Amino acid sequence: MAIAKLVVAAAFGLLPTLIWLLFFLREDSARPEPGREIVKFFLLGGFMASAAAIVVEYALKGALADFNIGYYSIVGLLLFAFIEETSKFLSARVLLRNDPNFDEPIDAMIYLITVGLGFSAIENFFELGGTAFSALPDLIILRFIGATLLHAVSSGFVGFYWASGRVWRGLLIATLLHTAFNWLILGFPGLPIYPSIVLVIAAIFLLRDFDIIKTVKEKIFS
């Protein structure tokens, strides 16, 4: 039973991320990135970002407790959202250093989204692995239209602003979006419609950013 549950968690934790990955890769159809690069950033980038976020968050929890700041307080939500968004960005930046395939602005968005979805795949696995079988269908749907899309969209914003030389603006927007999503999930349990609406609106703006960045010929990185 335990093994079957892990297989289900792995399969359905991965499926939403692959669907969204294929969706966003269509935005780079003119000069698509090599498949091996996408796999590398999804697996290695996702693992690096997850490991970094876990280490920093674990160390920070003790410090927050010393100041009586709860994990689910607004300060806690902001800090942990910033840590995750920064971890995804730094992992992508390390992997992209001296990469010859990183040759146009839209690549920043594509690779950041890929790392973000790799991060989400790992997060999905642990979330689904700790859930009872009876609750898995609802959680799978929630992860698909919720956290998985969140990581793709927030990372996409970071990539867009990084390519235009304003990475801190991207990290700020991603952190605020991430925090708002988590706050709505916690504040309105059983009502996923509210965070879903926020994500859909954010995704519309991200698609607009894709249209903008396709007209830019030169990368300007901060």
**Domain parsing of the chain, residue ranges:** 2-25+36-213
> What's residue 89's pLDDT?
98
pLDDT at 139 over 70: no
Residue 119: exposed, middle, or buried by beta-carbon count in 10 A (0-12, 13-18, 19+)? buried
> What's residue 106's pLDDT?
94
Whether 69 contacts 78, CB under 8 Å: no
Rounded distance between C-alpha atoms, residue 21 and residue 109, angstroms: 12
| 40 vs 193 pLDDT, higher one | 40
pLDDT at 85 over 70: yes
What are 117-137's pLDDT values in tens digits? 999 999 888 776 655 544 555
Rounded distance between C-alpha atoms, residue 103 and residue 16, angstroms: 28
When mean pLDDT is compared across 18-27, 50-59, 169-178, 188-197, the lowest value belongs to: 188-197
Q: Identify the top-confidence range among 70-74, 150-154, 189-193.
A: 150-154
Residue 125: exposed, middle, or buried by beta-carbon count in 10 A (0-12, 13-18, 19+)? middle
> What's residue 16's pLDDT?
86
Q: What is the mean pLDDT of residues 189-204?
A: 86
List, as own/partner pairs, every contact residues 92-95 make where C-beta atoms lie below 8 angstroms and the sequence separation is at least 24, other chains included: 92/41, 92/45, 92/49, 92/155, 92/159, 94/48, 95/40, 95/41, 95/44, 95/45, 95/48
> What's residue 1's pLDDT?
46
What are 164-191's pLDDT values in tens digits? 899 999 999 999 999 999 999 888 877 7
The token pair at 129 is 């692995």
When mean pLDDT is compared across 30-39, 108-117, 153-162, the lowest value belongs to: 30-39
> What's residue 117's pLDDT?
96
